[in-house]
Amino acid sequence: MSKDEAILRYKASMSVFKKWLSDGAITESDLLAIDSMLAKKYGLSSRSIYLEYDLLCGEKRVMNGTAKGG
């Protein structure tokens, strides 16, 4: 699988899980765990610019335009 295909599959998968989050089917902590698993599955570094969430600096994560954690 090419890097571009891996990124597309990661993004497509994350869009499904983000919908589940908005529907209340999973929690934010579930989504973060899923994000980590998908990044590993598709060979994306925890420092990749393509990730939905910053897996290294959770306390400084920005989601939906608002800073988390202070």
pLDDT digits (tens, 9 = 90+) for 4-62: 899 999 899 999 999 999 999 999 999 989 998 998 999 888 777 677 765 555 554 45
pLDDT at res. 56: 52
pLDDT at res. 70: 44
pLDDT at res. 45: 81
The CA distances from residue 68 to 20, 26, 60, in Å, are 21, 19, 6
